Each structure stands twice: as structure tokens, then as C-alpha cells.
Amino acid sequence: MNARDRLIVGLDIPTIAQAETMVSTLGETVSFYKIGYQLAFVGGLEFARDLVKDGKQVFLDMKLLDIDNTVANGVENIAKMGVTMLTLHAYPKAMRAAVQAAKGSDLCLLAVTVLTSMDEPDLIEAGYDHDPHSLVLRRAEQALAAGMGGIVCSAEESAAVRNIVGSGMAVVTPGIRPAGSEAGDQKRVMTPADAIRAGSSHLVVGRPIVKAADPKAAAEAILAEMQSVL
């Protein structure tokens, strides 16, 4: 894959009209988009279908977690949408149910390990005994065993995760920040080039592109940086 196949632009935007404008602004520069909670609840699921019809790839960031039957039923319907990737929390029972439900489809299921906005004190507060790195690696092992298509982790863990999952799984990393940009609410961040070097297969970039004065130029700069190390 070239850089364009690996860059996922996060459409963390309030309205469908604004998302449509952003996609139009980015044009052929970007071919892969993430739709998460903010957009999903104002018509983002239908917008995802529209993007697929227009030949774009869609990463549906729903972070599913529920009883096995509910997860399976949801995954079955999402697979019919034609999106490329879907996230769920990396709980073994949920992952196994999702993998079974997605069989026969092209949907890549991604296991969310530890959110990039969380550090060790956050995990301790939530009741976990593991530090972020250890928990990410444990969940990567469980995702591999469950037959998931990829892992979502911070780029700081990409190299260690890649050692566990090998070359056959996607390693998708949010919290990507070009040099000089603000981290915002992200706590475990890395530049695009360093993330690719570390073993990330796909980079999720939201605010550094969609909040930029010139989103297309920002995307082009990130793509050039990624391509320089591919």
C-alpha cells in the first residue's frame, strides 16, 4: 500500500454538511475516512454508505461492546454496509462473536486495546492492574487468538504489537501528531513518519487536518512525510 491507502482522516465534525464540505475540499488527496460517535448520531451511518458508493474506504469507529448476541447481530448488519474497518473493544468474548459474525465478508475487525487519551493513572482509576503497555500487549495476543483483522493502539506500542501479531494484521494508530502540532487530549502520540517506522500500517489523523487552515495542504504534507519512509 502507498501512503494514500494508509492515511485515515477522522471526520470528527459536528454535521453532515460540514463533513461533505471537508470531503469535497480534500478531494482525491484522501481516500479513507473515519466516522465516529460525533458524526454517527447526526446521520453519519448513511453518510458512510454514501462514501462507500463514491469509492471511498470507511473506518467505522463504533467501539462495540455488549453481550455476544448483540455484538454479532450488529456486526452482521455493519458488514452489509460495505465499510472497510470496524472497531470493537478488545474483550475476548466480544471479539470471538464478532469474528464469527463477519465470516464471509471483507470487513476488517479492529480490536481497540487502550485509548490513546489514557495513561497509567487513568487505567488505575478505572480499576486495571496493568500499565498501558502491558495491557495493550495482552489484548493484542487475545485479538490474534480470536482471529481479528487488526489492532488499534498508540504508535508507542506499534513495534511491540507488530512483534506479536506479525505482518498479517493491521496496526491502526490514532494520536498521530505532525511535529509542532498540539497533542490536545491525546497522551500517547507520535509523528506520522515515526509511527510508520514503528510498524503502524494505518494512521488516523483528525484535528491536524480537519482543523487546519488549509486541510488539503495539511493532508498532503502528512502523506509526503509517510511516503518518505515507506
> Which positions are catalytic?
61, 63, 66
User: Does the annotation flag 61 for ligand binding?
Assistant: yes
CA angle 59, 57, 166 (to 5 degrees): 65
* Annotated binding-site residue? 123: no
174 grid coordinates:
490514532
At a CB cut-off of 8 Å and minimum separation 6, what does 50 contact?
none
Strand partners of residue 33 = 9, 58
Is 187 labelled as part of a ligand binding site? no
216 is in an annotated binding site: no
Indicate the helix (H) or strand (E) that contains 47.
helix 45-53
* Residue 142, marked binder: no
69 is annotated as contributing to ligand binding: yes
Q: How much is the CA Rg of the chain, to the nearest whole Å?
A: 17
Answer yes or no: is 177 a known binding residue: yes
5 labeled part of a ligand binding site: no
Helix (H, G, I), strand (E, B) or coil at 64: strand
The answer to whether the beta carbons of residues 64 and 88 sit under 8 Å apart is yes
Question: Is 12 among the annotated ligand-binding positions?
Answer: yes
DSSP-derived letter for residue 43 is I
Contact residues for 142 (Cβ-Cβ < 8 A; gap 6+): 90, 92, 95, 111
The C-alpha cell that represents 110 in the structure block: 479492529
Angle value at C-alpha 29, between 26 and 31, nearest 5 degrees = 90
Q: Is 186 annotated in some ligand binding site?
A: yes
34 has binding-site annotation? yes
Annotated ligand binding at 129? The verdict is no
Here the cell at position 24 is 469535497
**56 is an annotated ligand-binding site residue:** no
- Shortest CA distance to 86 belongs to which of 61, 51, 67, 53? 61
Which residues sit in the known binding site for substrate? Answer: 12, 34, 61-70, 116, 177, 186, 206-207
Which residues sit in the known binding site? Answer: 12, 34, 61-70, 116, 177, 186, 206-207
